[in-house]
Structure 1
Amino acid sequence: MRRLLLTLPLLCMPLIAAGQTVSADQSTNPWIQQQTTLKTGQPAPGSLLIQSQNSTTAGAQNDSSLSLNPLGGGTVNSSTLQYGVTPNVTTQATINQKSWATQPRIVGTEVGATYNTGRYSLGLSVAQDQVTNPTPLPRVLPGAVTGVNGLTDFDNSTQLNAKGRLALSGNSGVVLGASMGRIHLLPGNLLGLSTLDQKALSFGIDHGPVSGSIIGRSMQPEVNNPGMPNPGLYPDRRWNSIDLGVTWRLPWQGSLSFGAQNVWSSGNATNTPAGPPQPDQSRTPYVQYHQDL
């Protein structure tokens, strides 16, 4: 499965280029306009819809296990291919690239399906993210680590995501999400670990152009020691955190995002001569503006 997901970027490169072209020509392309006639906003059965977008790392906050520091700078570019199976079922494949200083650092792929009735929707997907070079992620600003979930030695991750939305009215709804998976770290990292088990839960509300969410995450190292009470996890090492974020989509294709990472955090670790090693859990407030051109 891991090799299959890693080959998706190569297979989807033509789609990325096509998606960028489609994004610029949607107003004049009747084929694209025909695909969005369903009330749920999904492509019609048997048809394809390709979309592309870009955002800052602050705008990339979501309920999946991959979480970037919003003050770490950088951009996120993604392209999504959707295929309408039935009027209510859509399959999709996404490839995204997270870059700093014009250099791609993390490439992600995601495949899944969504069931949407208009009143409510439920989606399931499998995703993987991997650094393109086996080096720690860069430190862009003093005190702002670019790492994933406070882990600068991030290597790759694989996770299963679920997301559902219940519409309360024509322009508002409640969103619930969950994710579980594994994070692999680069060899020789300061934590002295190779694999972390991670779970995430999210709750969000959207009303018109305004949306907000609260996301809780938990990480615990995995070990392979049959002599321990629970051979799968370290019983004395665990890190938890809660993030808050609000986004306001502006009428001129801009967005304003503000919130904080690690509003609340806790953790424990086995002490070492240098202290208890743990991921960066410092509280990080942010305010960012993004403009689509």
Structure 2
Amino acid sequence: MRRLLLTLPLLCVPLLAAGQTLDGDQQGNPVWLQQSALAKSGQLPQGSLLVQSQNASTAGAQNNSNLSFNPLSGGTVSSSGLQYSVTPNVTAQADVTQRSWVSQPRIVGSEVGATYNTGRYSLGLSVAQDQMPNSAVVLPRVLPGAVTGVNGLADFDSSTQVNARGRFALNNNNGVLLGASMGRIRLMPGNLLGLNALDQKALSFGVEHGSVSGSIIGRTMQPEQGVGLPSSFTTDRRWNSIDLGVTWRLPWQGSLSFGAQNLWSSGNSTNTPAGPPEPDQSRTPYVQYHQDL
């Protein structure tokens, strides 16, 4: 019994690490590439299981390299993840995220993947999906604009993407982050663009320096290849955008984020005088404060 009592505190160490609230603005890093000391150093004992969770505002969602949400739309993000150490350097991960708004449908995302981590270098590959509940499909027909805008699209239905993320540690406090994503965004039937799906590609570059981190993310979308399009569309039609964000993690478990969504954007013009509606690519500067309780 005495040995069991002495062992219990040791067993709680991973849970204590998991219980720490993760910063909600880590430039595209999911739970399994955050700044948790265990996950970053690759020191999880083989066969161990690490549970992580966070609750934050949607402020961090705009820096996700897969999808872009309006940073000023409000709402909350709740996520839970599992890490299982296959070997001392390889972990498997599963993560579920829910984004909720008061007046808009929620979006549920899931991601599974694996990470190779040597301590200084890490590389993660994953497959992710985001979708709205089926009951939300009828909302655009009754309440125009009620569906959450994703990547500037008002008729977002779901998306699937393959992600690659890497980190190179310069030292204990500094690092470089790289990310890439390829996927497909599906739109609701009868959307104003007149399209069923859009192919998306994204690249991200981030830098960490102590308590300050920043990232730049570039995205491009174009109609799904090989699908018949309206006469006003061409197969090379696309929309491009660049987001920029900086986060300062404060000593009292708070964070200050500022930047701009769609700092630069472009889209091909149509051949008709009016043309179909474009995805909303208006520049959106923001300054947000988040406090972990």
- State TM-score, norm by structure 2: 0.80
Contact 1:45 1:85 in 2 (8 A): yes
CA distance change for structure 1 residues 225 and 108 in 2, over 3 Å: closer, same or farther? closer
For 2:41, give the aligned amino acid. T
CA distance 1:68–1:225, change in 2 (3 Å): closer
* Equivalence for 1:106: 107
Partner of 2:166: 164
Asked if structure 2 preserves the Cα contact closer than 8 Å seen for 1:43 and 1:82, the reply is no
Q: Distance in 1 between matches of 2:212 and 2:68?
A: 21
Q: Which structure features the higher share of strand residues?
A: 1
Q: Determine whether 1:235 maps to 2:235.
A: yes
Q: Residues 138-195 of structure 1: CA distance to partner in whole angstroms, max 9, x if unpaired? A: 868xxxx941100111000000000001111111011010000000000111111110
Does the C-alpha gap of structure 1 residues 250 and 82 become closer, same or farther in structure 2, counting only changes over 3 Å? same
3-state SS in 2 of match to 1:96: strand
- Measured against aligned partners, the alpha-carbon deviations of 1:76-95 in whole angstroms (never above 9, x if no partner) come to 11001110111111110000
1:214 aligns with 2:216: yes
Q: CA deviation at 1:103?
A: 6.8
Contact 1:166 1:174 in 2 (8 A): yes
Select which of 20, 25, 33 maps to 2:13: 33
Superposition map of 1:69-84 within 5 A: 69-84=70-85
Aligned-residue RMSD, C-alpha: 2.7
* Structure 1 residue aligned with 2:151: 149
Percent identity for Structure 1 against Structure 2: 74
The 3 A distance-change label for structure 1 pair 76 and 42 is farther
Alignment map for 1:1-293 (pairs within 5 Å)? 30-34=10-14, 40=41, 43-101=44-102, 105-132=106-133, 133-134=136-137, 135-136=139-140, 146-225=148-227, 234-272=234-272, 274-293=274-293
Moved over 6 A (4+): none
The Cα offsets for residues 66-114 of structure 1, whole Å up to 9 and x where unpaired, read as: 1111011111110011101111111100000000018761000000001
Q: State the alpha-carbon separation in 2 of the partners of residues 90 and 62 from structure 1.
A: 24
Q: Are the counterparts in 2 of residues 63 and 201 from structure 1 also a CA contact under 8 Å?
A: no
Shift in CA distance, 34/219, structure 1 to aligned 2, threshold 3 Å: closer
Q: In the TM superposition, what is the alpha-carbon distance from 1:61 to its structure 2 partner? A: 3.0
- In structure 2, the residue corresponding to 1:129 is in which secondary structure? strand
In 1, Cα distance between equivalents of 2:234 and 2:41: 45
TM-score, length of structure 1 as denominator length = 0.80
Secondary structure of 1:69's partner? coil
